[in-house]
Amino acid sequence: MDSGLDHHTARALLEWQIELGATEAILDAPVDRYALQPAAPKAAPAPAAPAVAPSAPAFDIDPVEEARRLADAAPDLEALRAALSGFMHCDLRRGARNLVFSDGKPGARVMIVGEAPGRDEDREGRPFVGRAGQLLDRMLAAIGMSRTPEQPGDGVYISNVLPWRPPQNRDPTPQEIAMLTPFMRRHVALAAPEIVVLMGNISCQAGLGQRGITRLRGQWAQAYGLPALPMFHPAYLLRKPHAKREAWADLLDLQARLRAGGGGA
């Protein structure tokens, strides 16, 4: 059938259609453009690149050795606090609000070493300020001692083995105790008390390498190179009021030791 178009006219019309955006010619069979198109076959996934083992660090940092290095380099309590604040290897710091360093009078004859901050201590940034701390203040007042004394010889200095609150007040792990003990050892050396009071199991574990406060309490020992008296933690006394009798006996023993000359007796 003769369409009446010569070759040049047909070519010109075709090029015009292409310029308008036509992409294919009319087919022999009709095509329903509204019908769903079959899903295109998925391309085969590219072969995974061979796993490359991460390069090993030049050296592994031992948190305990790093803690010892930082602590030993601190010339005073402020420097020790700064070193502890910059110690990045303990994950407890990530969930805590504040670093809880100390309270009371540095240079006091007695240094009390507790376990770890609780909720109130974490909020205020000072040790023993909650219910257990209030009981501790009353216990000390019963033998004429205070963290804010009228007489220098009646003061106490207070800290904790852990400066950051463990989540949900859980017990610290042995690894956490081990990496923070060098700071406590240096803390005691810089505070220079005559006697250390170890309150609770965690404090005894750090200072004596032992646990079992019901067996250890009331028995004088050596911790951090000083005479040390293990005692029940005030939080334990709040849960077990019947143990206050033993706690009172320990306070009287501490008072007698101080009167007799403290660490030199």
pLDDT at 23: 63
Confidence of residue 206 (pLDDT cuts 50, 70, 90): very high
- Between 34 and 121, name the one with better pLDDT: 121
Structure tokens at 209: 């390498």
Least confident of 30-44, 45-59, 88-102, 162-176: 45-59
pLDDT at 265: 46
Confidence of residue 262 (pLDDT cuts 50, 70, 90): confident
CATH architecture assigned to 63-264:
3-Layer(aba) Sandwich (3.40)
Looking up tokens 């796993």, which residue turns up? 51
Per-residue DSSP letter, 110: E
- 215-242 in b/e form (b: 16+ CB < 10 A) is ebbeeebebbebbbbbbbbbbbbeeeee
Q: Give the closest residue to 109 by CA, choosing from 232, 221, 265.
A: 265
The answer to whether residue 111 scores a pLDDT higher than 70 is: yes
Residue 181 CB neighbours (<10 A) = 21
Confidence of residue 8 (pLDDT cuts 50, 70, 90): low
Helices 77-85/63-72 angle, 10° precision: 150
Query: Could you tell me the residue ranges of all domains in the chain?
Result: 63-264
Least confident of 44-53, 87-96, 189-198, 205-214: 44-53
Least confident of 4-13, 64-73, 210-219: 4-13
d(CA 42, CA 62): 50
Helices 131-142/244-259 angle, 10° precision: 50
Mean pLDDT, residues 19-41: 60
Q: Give CA separation, 108 vs 111, 191, 233, 234, 242, in Å.
A: 7, 8, 20, 20, 30
pLDDT at 88: 95
d(CA 259, CA 255): 6
pLDDT at 58: 44
Mean pLDDT, residues 38-52: 56
Structure tokens at 213: 């406060």
pTM: 0.76
Query: In whole numbers, what is the pLDDT of the chain averaged over residues?
Result: 87
Confidence of residue 9 (pLDDT cuts 50, 70, 90): confident
> CB neighbours of 50 closer than 8 A, spacing ≥ 6?
none
d(CA 262, CA 265): 6
DSSP lists the bridge partners of residue 221 as 228
Mean pLDDT, residues 9-32: 65
The residue type found at 149 is: P
Mean pLDDT, residues 217-231: 97
Confidence of residue 82 (pLDDT cuts 50, 70, 90): very high
- Between 182 and 13, name the one with better pLDDT: 182
d(CA 170, CA 122): 14
